Amino acid sequence: MERSHLLRLYAQMLLIRRFEERSAEMYALGKIGGFCHLYIGEEAVAVGAVDALRPDDYVFSAYRDHGHCLARGSDPKRVMAELFGRAGGLCKGKGGSMHLVDAERRFMGGYAIVGGHLPLAAGVGFAVKYRGGDQVVLCFFGEGAVPSGACHETLNLAALWDLPVLFLCENNRYGMGTPVERAVALYADVAQNAAAHGIDSGRVDGMDVLAVREAVGKAVEQVRSGHRPYFLEATTYRFMGHSMADPAHGHYRTKAEVDEAKKRDPLLLLRTRMLGERLATEADFKTIEQDVGKIVREAVEFAEASPAPSESALEDDVYAAGGGPS
């Protein structure tokens, strides 16, 4: 991979990291309300995976969706404004942290009922096949969704009908506070759940953005040319609590465990590797840090300046404008 490409992946991961850190601050200040699930620690999965897509491919996410949306290229200003619940947000302040949507980038949304968006991703795959297209649907979900009926019904349909969906399971080890081994019978190899439906599968180190990029690149190619679904498990770890309401460690995992995981921080891994292979200098990273800092600062400024949605917009978009037959 070329140096410029590597630096771009690093910059995207850093953007998510700094964006999420500022989101935490804004949450503490009461600028962001509701539930807010940060992606810190998992950046390599979204960045490596989305990098392997074409602009006309589709992306679905769950409720921990800021990272996927940013990786897809959504304007950080409009993402932050959405978290603020402002009219300038991606969804005009109607969606919030868990429901980011950017249709222009085919970012089809964040969904907050665990497992509930998997059938939607299969449906977009169905539409692609129906039209004879060659787009791929990339569907992110946590390992917590794997035991759900929605997941298994979807895997069965995707396999039965050869739908072009890449199921990307982000296994961050915990469904809120419950570890995977207490939730998923086939926890040691989560992808076996897909194998049971006859779906090809693999596993990748989700802390290594280059490994993710390579594995997803191959998987996307296989889905696109083979017209079959694929299931990829990315092993990762969230450094923060489940949501802003949840401490990073305590009742269900130890500080030592979190500290150990942070030794494999995806940003640190790529940076160390690039420095070691003399593909980048400290100055390069300093420049990226400054650029990203500016982007995040401007995102917050934009969100602050964006007006709250007008109360007259309350009932907009419940139904299609006009509502009647087209």
Partner 1 sequence: MTLTYREALNQALCEEMRRDDRVFLIGEDVGYYQGAFKVSKGFVEEFGPRRVVDTPITELGFTGLAIGAAMAGLRPVVEVMTFNFAILAMDQIVNNAAKIRYMSGGQIGVPMVIRGPGSAAHQLGAQHSQSLEAWFCHVPGLKVVAPATPHDAKGLLKSAVRDENPVIFIEGQLLYPVKGEIGEGDYTIPLGLAEVKRTGTDITIIAYSKMLHQALEAAEILSREGIQAEVVDPRTLRPLDLDTLAASVKKTGKAVIVEEGWPFAGLGAQIAESLYGRVFDYLDGPIVRVTGRDVPMPYARNLEGAAVPDARRVVEAVHQVLNR
Contacts with partner 1 by CB under 8 A lie at 58, 89-95, 99, 101-103, 108-109, 111, 113, 116-128, 130, 149-150, 153-154, 156-157, 160, 316-320, 322-326
In this structure, the chain runs to a length of: 326
Q: Which is nearer to partner 1, 41 or 88 (CB)?
A: 88
Q: CB 58 → partner 1: shortest distance, Å? A: 8
How far is Cα 72 from Cα 106, in angstroms, rounded to an integer?
A: 9
* Chain centre distance of CA 40: 11
Contacts of 35 (CB under 8 A, 6+ apart): 63, 97, 98, 112, 243, 244, 245
Q: CB 72 → partner 1: shortest distance, Å? A: 14
Q: Which is nearer to partner 1, 25 or 317 (CB)?
A: 317
Q: Which is nearer to partner 1, 81 or 296 (CB)?
A: 81
How far is Cα 253 from Cα 275, in angstroms, rounded to an integer?
A: 33
Closest-CA residue to 10 (of 227, 260, 242, 285): 285
Contact present, 198 and 160 (Cβ < 8 Å) = no
Q: Which is nearer to partner 1, 305 or 313 (CB)?
A: 313
Paired strand residues for 142? 170
Q: CB 252 → partner 1: shortest distance, Å? A: 27
Burial 206-215 (b: 16+ CB within 10 A, else e): bbbbbbbbeb
Q: Which is nearer to partner 1, 127 or 248 (CB)?
A: 127
Q: Which is nearer to partner 1, 113 or 185 (CB)?
A: 113
Q: CB 33 → partner 1: shortest distance, Å? A: 16
Kindly report the backbone phi and psi dihedral angles of residue 254, in degrees, each rounded to the nearest multiple of 5, phi listed first.
Answer: -95, 160
Q: Which is nearer to partner 1, 62 or 270 (CB)?
A: 62
Q: CB 93 → partner 1: shortest distance, Å? A: 8
Q: CB 156 → partner 1: shortest distance, Å? A: 7
Tokens of 83: 């978290």
Q: Which is nearer to partner 1, 87 or 183 (CB)?
A: 87
Contacts of 307 (CB under 8 A, 6+ apart): 86, 87, 88
Contacts of 235 (CB under 8 A, 6+ apart): 171, 203, 204, 205, 206, 207
Kindly report the backbone phi and psi dihedral angles of residue 14, in degrees, each rounded to the nearest multiple of 5, phi listed first.
Answer: -65, -35
Q: CB 134 → partner 1: shortest distance, Å? A: 14
Q: CB 111 → partner 1: shortest distance, Å? A: 7
* Chain centre distance of CA 150: 19
